[in-house]
A and B are shown apart, each in its own frame.
Chain A
Amino acid sequence: MAEYKINVNGKEKSLKADPDTPLLWVLRDKLDLPGTKYGCGIAQCGACTVLLDGKAVRSCSLPISILKEQKITTIEGLSEDLTHPLQEAWREFDVPQCGYCQAGQIMSAAALLKENKSPSEEQIDNHMQGNICRCGTYLRIKKAIQSASKKL
């Protein structure tokens, strides 16, 4: 076990963990932030996506020991009052079915819109390729991203 200080959702957090502990399990088990989901553990499904300095990363494959000063944003910290344009758009299109993958989908989309305020359909498809939804809500996710991008 080693001591780590990380910045999550604008707050400095101190914790003890084994160096190889993935950020996913730090968030879920040690910081009580269960919004980030476990899906595959090998960065293949996108359910665990969080932002690292604004870029989408798969937290299941990111050991705590390699983190430094980066700012981590999880679904819990995407907005203070659930009014991020993507959250608004997710409501508008009633996107979720089971809802399990949706935090990862939203965080991936948030990284895309940070980088590119008006992505083309192809750019959305390419960016979201790593996020799986077995329920098949892809059409609504895409519409919600397009709608949110218009409001940025």
Chain B
Amino acid sequence: MTLENNTNKSRRKFLKVSSAAGGGMLIGFNWMGCQSEAKETVVKEVMKAIPKVWSEFDAFIKIGETGLVTIMSQNPEIGQNIKTSMPMIVAEELDVAWKDVVVEQAPLNEEWYPRQVAGGSQSIRSTWETLRKAGATAKQLLMETAAEKWEADLADCTVSEGIISHKDGRKISYGEVASDASKRETPDPKTIKLKDPKDFKIIGKSQKNVDMEGILSGKPLFGIDFKREGMLIATALRPTAFGQVLESFDDSEARKVSGVVDVIKFGDKIAVLAEDTWAAMKGKKALTAKWKQDKKAEDSAFHTKTLLEHLDKKSKEPRRVDGDVDKAFANADKVIEKIYEAPFLPHNCMEPMNFFAHVTDEKVEMIGPIQTPAWTESRIAELLKRDKEDITIEMTRMGGGFGRRLYGDFALEAAEISSISKKPIKMIFSREDDMLAGTYRPASAYKFKVGIKDNKITAYHLTEACFNGEMFGTMPNNFPCGAIENYRVDCHKLESNISTGAWRAPYANFLAYAEQAFLDELAGILDQDAVQFRLDLFEKAKANPVGEEHNYEIDKFVAVINLAAEKAGWNKGNKNLGFSAYYSHNTYVAEVAEVEMQDDRPVVKKITCAVDCGIVVNPVGAMNQIEGGIIDGIGHALYGDFSFTEGQAQSSNFNQYRLIRMSEAPEVEVHFIESHNDPTGLGEPTLPPVGGAVANAINAISGKRLYRQPFVKYFKELG
């Protein structure tokens, strides 16, 4: 294979070994040269001996002579557990026992790996075939080697758990043929056979998080934990409001703080470099700066007014037009209009933004938590005017991503500070920096206008107003398009100088609530059952689809709706339920919320969830994502409140910004649609529908419709 000469110099291969209490071997990777007391990150107890020689098969697989297998995990790990599930896919096709596999995080390498991005719930979906082929190709090479050695026919050989068997009873292990196999020419990809999903042995069986032991022992797994001899800690003072530029600053007091080494200006920011974190934080507090408001100082009243005034306008280029909504409204017996509003939201990853950078004349070394290493590398190259070849990026485990770490602004800051100071530095945000200098979920508003004639929906007009963005191209083709004769979507992309970006399940995170709350209200107005109302629309879309396309598969959508309704006991007498169903990130989800009033406030007791995500790669991890998406979604729908005054965010820490707590997390019951279809993703799709399910359940118990998030603002009226 070709990779023998393609050694990546930044790849870490140091294995540390010690005896395990249980009789096996504990295997660990030296974590990024950390100077920590606990140098060895115990990764996994393995029963195979530690190899002296590793044979590399491709960018994903190394096999030792003892049969131990290392699988590289190519994508950034933000808590979506792909560091476990992606290597499981390789191991499945390679046909090795999962207990003989150790997983190592791959660095950025665009030649070796496709799409090294954590975003859009696409990690598994976009690499499924590549990972399977990587495993199957190595398996083919190993089998060919064994067959040649035995002078046997390949067709007479089989593999199970890393042991190749000939039908005459001869056996040989992967470890014994790995070295020869790795030198063979890669077979024609067309000859590579993938398994029938019904033969899967690893995929579909729950496997524990591969970083579990590191997490349980407090090992330095995260970017913020990184250390290097001689490294300084950098903090930065940024403008206090959006739209400001730096006029002047005084660093005399900051320089007096013990441990502070240097203060540098970069752009409109000032960095304090210190020997340790506390000194860097104190140094930053001691800085004084004058800022000038260069662009409009926006506040929330401006945002609300701007959004609302656009909802009555049509956009120049509507995103979808079927029939003529205006004509249908003119002929309707009744026209209903509802408006839904959402605030900007910060991400609040539990690990604040940080990055290590060491910029020298020879190289740019970057290590830290980043969802988009390739894009970030390009931007650093541009910023520092360096060749991409000079830059290496290593991805650490991330203390949450949720979209915030797509943007890499913090990595660019680190690179700039190191470039100016000529020192290896780790730049860290305080929580206040994190919340005040965010890249927020944009505030948005939606207006739904529906025409009803003879108790049927004849027209549906959705208007979106959103800052700095608009719905993805495919989203206007979401349900219920295809089911309604006259249908139109208008989008207004409005300007704000607040920095905005993707936030877990972009657009869908709020649009789904608005749409699902509206459909529920509509079903009520038409005196129809909320579930049957949706099923009838699907039936119409199936029998007589309107328009050229819609982006959902009706049978899959209907299946999750029916499953959730059945499992939750919909229409079986429980009056405290709310229904919601949404298709996003290629996954179908239906959810039923059960809510009750306790001490004059609504309490979410249970969410019953049905999901079609194709093949479930790692059930325990999949369930964790689903529970997390639901709990996170409830938390933000209930409490996510964020506002601006004179360009400045009004919440800067968790005493002013409420996240959901343990006592508020409801029971979550999950049902998967059994499927042999290729897997989709789960990091996001269960979040969008849950706000609607909860709002609809609150209406069921109180008769009160909720049109704005966060719902906590309605609690007084409900009680």
Are A and B associated in one complex? Answer: yes
Instruction: Chain A residues near B349: list those with CB within 8 A.
Output: 98, 100, 134
| Residue A115 CB within 8 A of the other chain | no
Instruction: Give the CA-CA distance A103 to B282 in the complex, in Å.
Output: 26
| Residue A124 CB within 8 A of the other chain | yes
* A138-B662 CB under 8 A given contacts A18-B278, A25-B277, A81-B21: yes
Contact digits for A111-152, partner B, Cβ 8 Å, 1 yes 0 no: 000000000000011101101111111111110000000000
Instruction: Chain B residues near A33: list those with CB within 8 A.
Output: 36-37, 218
Whether A133 pairs with B624 at a CB distance below 8 angstroms is no
Instruction: Chain A residues near B628: list those with CB within 8 A.
Output: 97, 135-137
Min distance, Cβ B367 to any Cβ of chain A, angstroms: 14
Instruction: Give the CA-CA distance A139 to B655 in the complex, in Å.
Output: 23
Whether A99 pairs with B218 at a CB distance below 8 angstroms is no
Whether A98 pairs with B352 at a CB distance below 8 angstroms is no
Instruction: Chain A residues near B398: list those with CB within 8 A.
Output: 98
| Residue B667 CB within 8 A of the other chain | yes
* A136-B653 CB under 8 A given contacts A25-B276, A38-B224, A96-B212: no
Instruction: Chain B residues near A81: list those with CB within 8 A.
Output: 21
Min distance, Cβ A6 to any Cβ of chain B, angstroms: 15
| Residue B119 CB within 8 A of the other chain | no
Which stretch from B75-83, B142-150, B385-393, B696-704 is at the chain A interface?
Answer: B75-83
Whether B36 pairs with A136 at a CB distance below 8 angstroms is no
Instruction: Chain B residues near A17: list those with CB within 8 A.
Output: 278
Apart from A100-B222, A138-B660, what are 18 other A-B pairs with CB-CB below 8 Å?
Answer: A18-B259, A25-B278, A32-B37, A34-B34, A39-B350, A45-B431, A76-B218, A97-B80, A97-B628, A98-B400, A99-B209, A100-B351, A100-B399, A132-B654, A136-B627, A138-B661, A139-B668, A142-B662
| Shortest 6 CB-CB contacts between residues of A and residues of B | A35-B218, A100-B399, A98-B79, A136-B631, A75-B218, A136-B628
* A37-B351 CB under 8 A given contacts A98-B397, A98-B399, A102-B215: yes
CB-nearest residue of chain A relative to B625?
A97
| Residue B551 CB within 8 A of the other chain | no
* A99-B217 CB under 8 A given contacts A131-B662, A135-B632: no
Whether A139 pairs with B631 at a CB distance below 8 angstroms is yes
Min distance, Cβ B159 to any Cβ of chain A, angstroms: 29
Instruction: Give the CA-CA distance A76 to B401 in the complex, in Å.
Output: 25
Instruction: Give the CA-CA distance A37 to B523 in the complex, in Å.
Output: 48
| Residue B621 CB within 8 A of the other chain | yes
Instruction: Chain B residues near A30: list those with CB within 8 A.
Output: 276
Whether A100 pairs with B218 at a CB distance below 8 angstroms is no
Whether A103 pairs with B208 at a CB distance below 8 angstroms is no
Whether B209 pairs with A94 at a CB distance below 8 angstroms is yes
Kindly identify, within residues 644 to 671 of chain B, every residue whose CB is under 8 Å from any CB belonging to chain A.
653-655, 659-663, 665, 667-668
| Residue B221 CB within 8 A of the other chain | yes
Min distance, Cβ B336 to any Cβ of chain A, angstroms: 34
CB-nearest residue of chain A relative to B214?
A99
Instruction: Chain B residues near A45: list those with CB within 8 A.
Output: 350, 431, 654
| Residue A7 CB within 8 A of the other chain | no
Whether A29 pairs with B218 at a CB distance below 8 angstroms is no
| Residue A59 CB within 8 A of the other chain | no
Contact digits for B480-505, partner A, Cβ 8 Å, 1 yes 0 no: 00000000000000000000000000
B653 contact from A37, A40, A87, A140, Cβ within 8 A:
A40
Instruction: Give the CA-CA distance A42 to B430 in the complex, in Å.
Output: 11
| Residue B225 CB within 8 A of the other chain | yes
Whether A21 pairs with B278 at a CB distance below 8 angstroms is yes
Instruction: Chain B residues near A28: list those with CB within 8 A.
Output: 225, 277
Instruction: Give the CA-CA distance A91 to B212 in the complex, in Å.
Output: 7
Q: Which of A42, A81, A131 is packed against the most chain B CB atoms within 10 Å?
A: A42
Instruction: Chain A residues near B259: list those with CB within 8 A.
Output: 18
CB-nearest residue of chain A relative to B630?
A136
| Range for the number of chain A residues in contact with chain B | 35 or more
Kindly identify, within residues 21 to 79 of chain B, every residue whose CB is under 8 Å from any CB belonging to chain A.
21, 34-38, 42, 78-79
Instruction: Give the CA-CA distance A90 to B46 in the complex, in Å.
Output: 20
Whether B217 pairs with A136 at a CB distance below 8 angstroms is no
Residues of B within 8 A of A (CB): 21, 34-38, 42, 78-81, 206, 208-209, 211-213, 215-222, 224-225, 227, 233, 258-259, 276-279, 281-282, 348-352, 397-402, 428, 430-431, 620-621, 624-625, 627-632, 635, 653-655, 659-663, 665, 667-668
Whether A74 pairs with B224 at a CB distance below 8 angstroms is no
| Residue A47 CB within 8 A of the other chain | yes
* A98-B627 CB under 8 A given contacts A39-B431, A42-B653, A125-B663: no
Instruction: Give the CA-CA distance A39 to B431 in the complex, in Å.
Output: 7
Instruction: Chain B residues near A102: list those with CB within 8 A.
Output: 215-216
CB-nearest residue of chain A relative to B78?
A98
Min distance, Cβ A36 to any Cβ of chain B, angstroms: 7
Instruction: Give the CA-CA distance A137 to B21 in the complex, in Å.
Output: 30
Min distance, Cβ B82 to any Cβ of chain A, angstroms: 11
B277 contact from A29, A74, A131, Cβ within 8 A:
A29
Whether B662 pairs with A141 at a CB distance below 8 angstroms is yes
Q: List, sorted by A's number, 19 A–B pairs whose CB atoms are closer than 8 Å.
A: A18-B282, A20-B282, A29-B277, A44-B654, A76-B217, A81-B21, A82-B217, A90-B216, A94-B212, A96-B209, A97-B81, A98-B78, A98-B398, A99-B221, A101-B350, A124-B662, A134-B349, A135-B628, A135-B632
Min distance, Cβ A17 to any Cβ of chain B, angstroms: 8
Whether B431 pairs with A40 at a CB distance below 8 angstroms is yes
CB-nearest residue of chain B relative to A76?
B218
| Residue A41 CB within 8 A of the other chain | yes
Instruction: Chain A residues near B217: list those with CB within 8 A.
Output: 35, 75-76, 82
| Residue A106 CB within 8 A of the other chain | yes
B79 contact from A75, A76, A99, Cβ within 8 A:
A99
| Residue A1 CB within 8 A of the other chain | yes
Instruction: Chain B residues near A31: list those with CB within 8 A.
Output: 37
Whether A34 pairs with B225 at a CB distance below 8 angstroms is yes
Min distance, Cβ A140 to any Cβ of chain B, angstroms: 7
Instruction: Chain B residues near A74: list those with CB within 8 A.
Output: 218
B35 contact from A32, A90, A128, Cβ within 8 A:
A32
Instruction: Chain A residues near B620: list those with CB within 8 A.
Output: 94
Instruction: Give the CA-CA distance A133 to B36 in the complex, in Å.
Output: 26
Whether B632 pairs with A98 at a CB distance below 8 angstroms is no
Instruction: Chain B residues near A125: list those with CB within 8 A.
Output: 661-663
Q: Which of A74, A99, A137 is packed against the most chain B CB atoms within 10 Å?
A: A99
* A44-B655 CB under 8 A given contacts A99-B399, A136-B632: yes
Instruction: Give the CA-CA distance A91 to B208 in the complex, in Å.
Output: 7
Instruction: Chain A residues near B227: list those with CB within 8 A.
Output: 32, 34
Whether A98 pairs with B351 at a CB distance below 8 angstroms is yes
| Residue A22 CB within 8 A of the other chain | yes
Whether A138 pairs with B665 at a CB distance below 8 angstroms is yes
CB-nearest residue of chain A relative to B347?
A134
Instruction: Chain A residues near B279: list those with CB within 8 A.
Output: 18
Whether B278 pairs with A29 at a CB distance below 8 angstroms is yes
Whether B36 pairs with A32 at a CB distance below 8 angstroms is yes
CB-nearest residue of chain A relative to B628?
A136
* A87-B631 CB under 8 A given contacts A39-B431, A100-B351, A128-B662: no
